[in-house]
Structure 1
Amino acid sequence: MSITRIEPGARMSQAVAYGNLVWLAGQVGNPGDDVAAQTATVLANIDRLLAAAGTDKSKILSATVWLADMADFAAMNRVWDGWVDLANPPARATGESKLATPDYLVEIIVVAARD
């Protein structure tokens, strides 16, 4: 089996596919946007990367959501709830963490299956 690296850079790849699994790097939104807009951008990036790997959000196995402030939990969830495949919701954990810069309010990491 070969390893496929999607959007590789000097430090990391945005996604790595091996066999029937795809791992996405943590996806962040646009600095300066509010948490809802950043979440929408993150989810669009996840859709794009999963498509590049030959899969989609219905095949997400797990998601880890990091918020800079848990006070943003409800706002992030409103966007997530409008995006997630309700017939195939992944396992998910959400926590609060200091992110790479104070401008990032949310970061989401997913692992997905592909056929």
Structure 2
Amino acid sequence: MIERIDTGQRMSKIVKHNGVAYLCGQVGEGANVADQTRDCLSRMDALLTKAGSSRKQMLQAVIWLADMADFAEMNAVWDAWVPEGHAPARACGEAALARPELKVEIIVTAAC
């Protein structure tokens, strides 16, 4: 069975299937990548909770940065957010994001 949560015409915020939650990409507000990452991860917490999951149940994360020069600054926030011993499989790359002011987008898959 597939469960879709907060579904619109273009996308669902969460899709659950066989005990796995696929979360839509999250971006954040803020003047720099650290602020945007903190806001993004706060939004991710809300989605994980809504999916019946948590940070400790993350399976995979894909992170897109508008500029890889922000890698260390983003990682400082990310590392503080991920519970010790529960780091997901992760990829990070550079990409043009949907709006020019965006510096980071994070996509998470988690067990639920």
Do they superpose with TM above 0.5? yes
* Unmatched tracts of structure 2, length 5 or more: none
Pairing of 1:10-89 with structure 2 (within 5 A): 10-30=9-29, 33-89=31-87
Partners of 1:76 and 1:14 lie apart in 2 by 23
Partners of 1:47 and 1:19 lie apart in 2 by 21
| TM-score normalised per structure 1 | 0.92
Aligned length: 112
Partners of 2:43 and 2:83 lie apart in 1 by 16
Shift in Å, 1:33:
2.5
Residue in 2 aligned with 1:109? 107
Residue in 2 aligned with 1:95? 93
SS at match of 1:28: coil
Q: Which letter maps to 1:89?
A: A
Q: Which letter maps to 1:109?
A: I
Q: Which letter maps to 1:27?
A: Q
* Unmatched tracts of structure 1, length 5 or more: none
SS at match of 2:22: strand
Identify the range of structure 1 (10-19 vs 91-100) with the bigger mean alpha-carbon deviation: 10-19
Partners of 1:6 and 1:103 lie apart in 2 by 28
| TM-score normalised per structure 2 | 0.94
Partners of 2:96 and 2:15 lie apart in 1 by 25
Shift in Å, 1:87:
1.5
Shift in Å, 1:7:
1.9
Shift in Å, 1:85:
1.3
Residue in 2 aligned with 1:7? 6
Q: Which letter maps to 1:85?
A: P
Structure 1 stretches of at least 4 aligned residues deviating more than 6 Å after TM superposition:
none
Partners of 2:53 and 2:16 lie apart in 1 by 10
Q: Quote the sequence identity (%).
A: 53
SS at match of 2:78: helix
